[in-house]
Amino acid sequence: MKILNNVEILGDSIARGVIWCEIAGKYKLLKESAANLFGPGNQVTVKNYSKFGCTTKKALELLPDILKKNASGGIVLLELGGNDCDFNWDAVSQDPLSEHAPYVSFTNFKENLSVIIENILSSGKRPVIMTLPPIDADKYFNWISKGCKERADKLMTFLGDKNLIYRHQELYANALEKIALKYNLYIVPVRETLLRIHKYSDYLCLDGIHLNSKGHAIMKSVCDKSYQDYLLLNNA
């Protein structure tokens, strides 16, 4: 089916190909990102609308224009949730004893994702869900602490333990998969694949959340296999 040769990606910085460059000391776009290599390797036309910091709320704002740009059908790969579950760590460090909500609440995340999926289905396109890559709580805690013991102590007051960072992200990751199953959507199992690696942290950047170049190679291989399996399931 020719329409399956068109893939649009709506996600955040991971799908965009953003990595932390330790040499330059800043974020940069990886030329050999999974998204950049996927299209030529599978003879697929890829349009990547992913943005740094994108949440389901932002994706809902972007979606109408994306759906209008290509009305001939195709696959829309969704890679969302990593920013939804994150907190404003500066605000947390300033007042760690107060309650702080993530950028998108758990309830709103599920509602937003459902609306995104329903809008894609209504357009005639086919939504596909990519699972959230796992994070490294220790790396990420060190990252948001910014090397400051006082800031680290305040963040720990709010968190209670570092592993809450992982568990909170896992809450959103599990909801993502449940919603995909509810709508009978194809799932690209990036999270499972990385978790099966004994030292998956080696595939993450210094910040503990972005995939490094090795991580993108893993994500690309998962996407390749998933795409070929998806074609077989759809007799394409």
Q: Quick check: 71 pLDDT over 80?
A: no
Q: Quick check: 2 pLDDT over 80?
A: no
> How far apart are the C-alpha atoms of 61 and 66, rounded to whole Å?
10
User: pLDDT digit string (tens) for 49-61?
Assistant: 999 999 999 999 9
> How far apart are the C-alpha atoms of 168 and 35, rounded to whole Å?
27
> How far apart are the C-alpha atoms of 130 and 186, rounded to whole Å?
9
List beta partners, residue 79.
Answer: 11
Q: Can you read off the two tokens belonging to residue 228?
A: 């070929």
User: pLDDT digit string (tens) for 91-122?
Assistant: 999 999 999 999 999 999 999 999 999 999 99
- For residues 213, 218, 221, 223, the Cα torsion angle rounded to the nearest 10 degrees is -90
Inter-residue contact 77 to 125 (CB < 8 Å): no
Residue 123 sits in a domain whose CATH number is 3.40.50.1110
3-state secondary structure of 132: coil
> How far apart are the C-alpha atoms of 1 and 154, rounded to whole Å?
55
Inter-residue contact 83 to 103 (CB < 8 Å): yes
pLDDT at residue 234, as a whole number = 86
User: What's this model's pTM, rounded to 2 decimal places?
Assistant: 0.95
Q: Quick check: 3 pLDDT over 80?
A: no
User: pLDDT digit string (tens) for 142-185?
Assistant: 999 999 999 999 999 999 999 999 999 999 999 999 999 999 99
Q: What is the DSSP string of 143-163?
A: HHHTT-HHHHHHHHHHHSSTH
| Exposure string over 19-51, b if 16+ CB within 10 A, otherwise e | bbeeeeeeeeebeebbbbbbeeebebebbbbbb
Domain boundaries, position 205? 2-233
> How far apart are the C-alpha atoms of 156 and 164, rounded to whole Å?
10
Per-residue pLDDT band for 129 (boundaries 50, 70, 90) equals: very high
Inter-residue contact 33 to 216 (CB < 8 Å): yes
**203 secondary structure, DSSP code:** G
Domain count, the chain: 1
> How far apart are the C-alpha atoms of 226 and 174, rounded to whole Å?
19
> How far apart are the C-alpha atoms of 225 and 210, rounded to whole Å?
22
CA neighbours within 13 Å on the CB side: how many for 153?
3
